[in-house]
Structure 1
Amino acid sequence: MNTRTDSSDLKAAPPAGLAGTVRVVLATHSSAHAFWLASALGDEAEVIPVSPDVAELTPYLQAPGLGMVMLDFSAPGTETAVLLAGDLRSGWPGVVLMGAGSAADSASMLAALRCGVTEFVNWDASEAEAFAAFRHQLQAPAAPSPSPVATEAEAGNIVLPLLGGRAGLGVTTLATHLAVMLQEIHAHDMRGAARRGQVARKLGANSATQEEKAYAALLDLGLPARDGLLYLSVTGHFNFVDAVQNLRRLDATLLDSAVEKHFTGTAAMAWPADLSLLREVSPVAAANVLRTLKGLLKAQVIDLGGMVQTDFLEPVLRECGSAWVVCDQSLGGIISTAQLVKELESKGIERRMLKLVLNRFNPQAGLPAKEVALRLGLELLHVLPDRATALLAAASSGQLLSQTSRGDPYVTSVRVMARSLLGDPFAADPSSPGILGQWARRLRRSE
């Protein structure tokens, strides 16, 4: 698959008099890739390899009966393919473009997706997968897929937005810890199920091996941007704008290969570093990405802290169905949170959809938890203790507090949150310090 040849070695057929029912023009320097694709497509198409140059492609673009053009984004020809894609988009807007490359090479794959190819063929995949991608594109070459709808399998998935009336209320800290905790609990439960399955099989039971296909993700969509990526020590090359622009190709393969992950396996996606690109994301498009991810992820924790643009929040919250509003005991935090809730109500978001998480709670300082909830008119769902110093110490070492001190009261509270989201009958409202202490002791005994 890595063989490279001069374009003269590819023996491209003339553009006229072709016998194939569908012609696929492959712009590549690799004869191995051309032979592999021809084998994958078989009698369904005639593969015509040409050098990746507009002048070489022009006769085939002008000839009748063209099916599609496939660009090989494999290194070191990635930049050439990108430039060629731009030329084809401007000069031949009606041409259907497919991309090809190695999914293991994230740079070439992202380059292809950002060029707007309609499908991506992985050279490292099976020929059957390449054929399926080709057939999918052939059957619907021009029309984008309709917005995905939820299935029964998605009904139990967690899609949880965390709101904050302004920056600095601890939304990102909670979102990162909660996403990682959900991933760790899932992995722990799956390992336990696998062990039980091994025991069952030894006893003669017919039990299929369970796979850890589902995982949790942090969608870092708050402001200031990309702070969650810093906490997880990932760079986030594939960003949320990429997901919006490539919604049709957002599947398990793309998620696994392009979206970066924390060492626990937690996926992370954020806004791009260039915030001017946010203009390309409509609220409806953002909601569509969340809907698509429901079928790919076990849990989505969406950090929307500091994002107070209600025109953006409204369709996102409707897609999710509910949200947690994070606030602390400070006067500024309460006022900004009350304003956000009021503005969301003006957009038709009912208060019953919003639950309060009181952060940095100190029983000796500020208002009691229930008084804060009463003033905001929100149901009090969770209370997080004030552990600012411990959280700062962990962050300064480049880690989450759950990595440095798994028994810390903050970590214990987040674990209770995660278990309650997963339907644990022993997880409930921890607003009472006495009950919280009981749960903490129970969790320490069981984990």
Structure 2
Amino acid sequence: MSERNCFIAITDSQECLQWLGQSLRDEGDLIPADSPSTERVIQLADAIGASIVFVQLNPADYRQEALLIEGIIAAKPLLPVIVVADAFDQNLLLTVMRLGARDFIKSGSRASEVVAEVKRLIPRDGGLQSTQSDQHGKITAVVSARPGSDSPMLALHLALAIQETEPTLLLDLGVPHGDAMLYLGLTSSYSFIDAIRSLRRIDSTLIQTGFGRHKSGLTVLSMPEDSWTGAQFTAADVCVLLRSLRRHFSRIVLNLGGMVDSNFLLLLLGNVDQIVLLVEQSVPSCRQNMQLIKHLREEKVSLTNTGVVVDHYLSKMPPDAESIAQSFGLPLLSTLSSSGMARLATMNSGESMFELSPNDPYSISVRKLAEKLVNGQATPAVKKPGLLHKLVTAITAMQEKA
């Protein structure tokens, strides 16, 4: 999971959420609880490996919050609870401490004070949550700024290659929706949105009966093909679902191709272990993906375990793959051939390239990439950005001036 800490905020005040979020921006991710019930907060804390829970009190009447704090501490005595209020008197302070809260903070306090308190309460070794996350499946995300067939094609073949050695889930959330299912010749009435709506029912039986299943044994869960803009779910829902899926699969391959400038994308990438950036050997593709990587860095998404894969690669044409990877400030993981006829056959037949064209350069390269990702081989040192980076930067600057 993400190396950043996760904090839960229990408050109805958007002003309080904004203040806490800005104060803790460099320390971790703040996730608002979607329900002030003890059961839901504990479920969310387990799902995201929460480091601290912030509970805002109304000094005039805090009976409900007091019961909530008692419930949280009874269920998870090692999880620190910090109380937030606009003002504190002696009676309120005594009550808060008797409930078991570790400390209190006044609303609107300086960010440095909030950060100092958080650092005091979080163990230097990362606490119990970090060791627990290591026991669950690993998530590898395929991202690209450009929608199309390349991302689902790579994601599904990575998943198929890994499935040969470990139980694997292909989570296809990219744009356009549902392409991976079509490429594999699968149909399923159960979607990612359905899984969000039935969080408490996610178990082996539901996975076996509701999720798509390829003959190789690969499990597939996709966004519905029709519009899902009306679907209502929270950040907490997504975190809980990913946590549940990690328990059932050793590996999850997550297709996020075509998703840009989205809080949903940031949320998902904050919960993955590896990121594969898929780019083409062209200035437009590099330009758009550089903007995506810049956005992720600005939003402090960890790119520690991120590498570049250059698709439709022609070794005799500039720029070369190493130069492209250097332009992103990321290591090169692999190159993939165009293999146009083999890809088209897969898209139209419902059979994978491993079945139709096992000796195709694309198939061979994806298998090697899957092995590298699973084994966690060390990535080479990243060289300084080269000429391609300067070229793309110059083109972007000219377009912005225009």
**TM-score normalised per structure 1:** 0.54
Find the aligned partners of 1:424 and 1:321 in 2 and give their Cα distance.
10
What code does the residue aligned with 1:370 have?
A: E
Alignment of 1:63-74 (within 5 A): none
Matched, 1:241 2:193: yes
The answer to whether the 8 A contact 1:287-1:319 is kept is yes
SS of corresponding position for 2:312: strand
Q: Is the 8 A contact 1:169 1:333 kept in 2?
A: no
Query: Which of 328, 338, 341 is equivalent to 2:293?
Result: 341
Structure scoring higher RCO (CA < 8 A, sep ≥ 6) equals 2
Alignment of 1:201-350 (within 5 A): 215-277=167-229, 279-350=231-302
SS at 2:160's partner residue?
helix
Shift of 1:156: 6.2
Following the alignment from structure 2 to structure 1, what is the Cα–Cα distance between the partners of residues 210 and 152?
23
Q: Once the 2 structures are TM-superposed, how far is the Cα of residue 273 of structure 1 from its aligned partner?
A: 3.1
Give the distance between the partners of 1:346 and 1:330, measured in 2 at CA: 24
Query: Pick from 325, 347, 354: which aligns with 1:373?
Result: 325
Measured against aligned partners, the alpha-carbon deviations of 1:32-75 in whole angstroms (never above 9, x if no partner) come to xxxxxxxxxxxxxxxxxxxxxxxxxxxxxxxxxxxxxxxxxxxx
Counterpart of 1:359 (choices 303, 311, 328) is 311
Alignment check: 8 A CA contact 1:167 1:305 kept: yes
Q: Which residue pairs with 2:145 in the alignment?
A: 165
Maintained 8 Å contact 2:163/2:217: yes
Is the CA contact (8 Å cut-off) linking 1:328 and 1:360 kept in structure 2?
Answer: yes
- In 1, the alpha carbon distance for the partners of 2:246 and 2:141 equals 13
Change (3 A) 1:329 1:169: farther
Q: Which has the larger radius of gyration?
A: 1
Query: Secondary structure of the equivalent of 2:177?
Result: coil
- Cα deviation for residue 305 of structure 1 reads 0.2
Cα deviation, residue 424, structure 1: 8.1
Counterpart pick for 1:181 among 157, 161, 180: 161
Amino acid paired to 1:280? Q
Q: Deviations over 1:277-306 (max 9, x none)?
A: 564133442233112111111211110000
Secondary structure, in 3 states, of the residue corresponding to 1:185? Answer: coil
Amino acid of the structure 2 residue aligned with 1:318: G
SS in 2 for 1:334: helix
RMSD: 2.6
C-alpha distance in structure 2 between counterparts of 1:270 and 1:156, whole Å: 21
One-letter amino acid matched to 1:348: K
Any residues of structure 2 matched to 1:398-413 within 5 Å, and which? 398-413=350-365
Check the 8 A contact 1:223/1:304 in 2, yes or no: yes
Instruction: Look up the SS of the partner of 2:176 in the other structure.
Output: coil
Seen in structure 2, the aligned counterparts of structure 1 residues 159 and 400 have a Cα distance that, compared at 3 Å, is same
Alignment check: 8 A CA contact 2:188 2:210 kept: no
Gaps of 5+ in 1: 1-140, 187-214, 430-447
TM-score of the two chains, using structure 2 as the length reference: 0.60
- Secondary structure, aligned partner of 2:324: helix
- Partners of 2:222 and 2:43 in 1: CA distance: 24
Is contact 2:138–2:273 with CA below 8 Å preserved after alignment?
no
Q: 1:353 Cα shift?
A: 4.1
Q: Give the secondary structure class of the aligned counterpart of 1:281.
A: coil
- In 1, Cα distance between the equivalents of 2:373 and 2:273? 14
Deviation at 1:386, TM superposition (A): 2.4
> CA 1:332–1:168 in structure 2 vs 1: closer, same or farther (change >3 Å)?
farther
Structure 2 residue runs without a partner (length 5+): 1-36, 48-128, 381-402
Could you report, residue by residue, the CA deviation over 1:386-411 in whole angstroms, capped at 9, with x for unpaired residues? 22222112333331111112122111
Contact 2:148/2:175 (CA < 8 Å) preserved in 1? no
User: How far off is 1:428 after superposition?
Assistant: 8.3
Residue pair 1:357, 1:384 contacting (<8 A) in 2 also: yes
**Counterpart selection for 2:340 from 388, 391, 396:** 388
CA-CA distance at 1:218 after TM superposition: 0.9
Greater CA drift, 295-304 or 176-185: 176-185
Structure 1 residues 143-162: aligned runs within 5 Å: 143-144=39-40, 146-147=43-44, 148-149=46-47, 152=132, 155=135, 157-162=137-142
Whole-Å Cα distance in 2 between the matches of residues 322 and 404 of structure 1?
28
Q: Is the 8 A contact 2:173 2:223 kept in 1?
A: yes
Aligned residues: 261
Distance in 1 between residues matched to 2:251 and 2:192, nearest whole Å: 16
Query: 1:251 and 1:267 mapped to 2: Cα distance?
Result: 14
Find the aligned partners of 2:133 and 2:258 in 1 and give their Cα distance.
32
CA distance in 2, matches of 1:297, 1:231: 22
